[in-house]
A and B are shown apart, each in its own frame.
Chain A
Amino acid sequence: EPEVTQTPSHQVTQMGQEVILRCVPISNHLYFYWYRQILGQKVEFLVSFYNNEISEKSEIFDDQFSVERPDGSNFTLKIRSTKLEDSAMYFCASRIPGQGAIKGQETQYFGPGTRLLVL
């Protein structure tokens, strides 16, 4: 069964450093997302991406964050200058609609996550 993959699984960085989190969405999916989850809290939406541009973003997704789809398979989240409060689990998700989808049955499939620790 196809799945969303993410690398690395864990990342430790110093405050102020740049990090890039990588995701490979499911191949026929067209919508891509980043969510984050601070330890013990709920999953929070960061950004959605469709047709090579951001379609929606939350207030968390400030100028320090950017997303990119550099090729046909990868989807990245960059944090330019990490802060302590960026420590969280970051989940990538992807979604149909696409060819073969049953209308109205699409949901978002989550990757395993990248645990980011900012020191």
Chain B
Amino acid sequence: QQPVQSPQAVILREGEDAVINCSSSKALYSVHWYRQKHGEAPVFLMILLKGGEQKGHEKISASFNEKKQQSSLYLTASQLSYSGTYFCGTEVKGAQKLVFGQGTRLTINP
């Protein structure tokens, strides 16, 4: 069963913040976040393994609430280059695959 992402789409002005959520009905081993630009491959952003753990670099960070099986991706002071579709990929223990959410399309306008 695929994770559910929300919102489905976000439109922001440059410099604004965004939060993208990913929730699963299954107990997760890890959550992987990717960004995909139109016509390109998904690009890995970060992986989260432990409950409550936050990871990030520069202005993109993420958290993982293991008890709720939810992860959130935080984009602060968004830049034009952040535009794209963001996917969360979830992994359950013992499985050798990622199950992706339906994606969140982020548009950043000047």
Contacts and interface: CB of A to CB of B under 8 A. Distances in A.
Size range of the chain B interface in the assembly: 20 to 34
Interface in A24-70: 31, 33, 41-45, 48, 50, 55-56, 58
Interface of A: 31, 33, 41-45, 48, 50, 55-56, 58, 91, 104-113
Interface of B: 2, 30, 32, 34, 40-44, 47, 49, 87, 89, 95-103
A56 B42 contact: no
A56 B40 contact: no
Nearest to A110: B41
Q: Is the interface of B mostly helix, strand, loop or mixed?
A: loop
Given A43-B100, A44-B100, A45-B99, A104 B49 contact: yes
A42 B47 contact: no
A110 B101 CA distance: 16
Q: Is the interface of A mostly helix, strand, loop or mixed?
A: strand
A16 B24 CA distance: 38
A33 B98 CA distance: 10
